[in-house]
Amino acid sequence: MGLISSMAKKERHFRVEIEEALCKGCLICVYACNKLGGGVLRRSERRTLLGGLYPTLAGECIGCRWCERLCPDLCISVEEE
Ligand code: SF4
Ligand code: SF4
């Protein structure tokens, strides 16, 4: 097995953290994840202080970071584990 095939098999895992105290619930991150990313961020049923809905992760993040880039309030951080 060569180096390239070994690298291709390496699984990568990403941790997504959402700072809920800063989140207003606009769901731009959910839209970004579903249109541009891995489609794993979902709308939760829990309301933010401003009446929006918190995002929640429902699957394995692929680490594209669109949610992190597009959150207007810088609530999201994506780190490789
Ligand atoms: S984009 Fe940011 S502020 Fe909007 S719901 Fe997502 S985490 Fe919250
Ligand atoms: S990094 Fe990409 S796949 Fe992961 S939650 Fe954010 S938008 Fe979705």
Each of the 81 residues of the chain gets a pLDDT tens digit; together they read 455 555 555 799 999 999 999 999 999 999 999 999 999 999 999 999 999 999 999 999 999 999 999 999 999 999 999
Q: How far is CA 39 from the centre of its chain?
A: 9
Q: Using the atom order of ligand 1, give the atom closest to the CA of residue 41.
A: 6
Atom in ligand 2 nearest the alpha carbon of residue 63: 1
pLDDT reported for residue 10: 74
Contact residues of ligand 1, CB 6 A cut-off: 18, 23-29, 55, 71, 73, 75-76
Between the CA of 19 and the centroid of ligand 2 the distance, in Å, is 15
The domain limits of the chain are: 17-80
Between the CA of residue 13 and those of 10, 16, 24, 78, what are the distances in Å?
A: 10, 10, 27, 10
CATH fold label, 17-80: Alpha-Beta Plaits (3.30.70)
Q: Please state whether the predicted TM-score (pTM) of the whole model is above 0.85.
A: yes
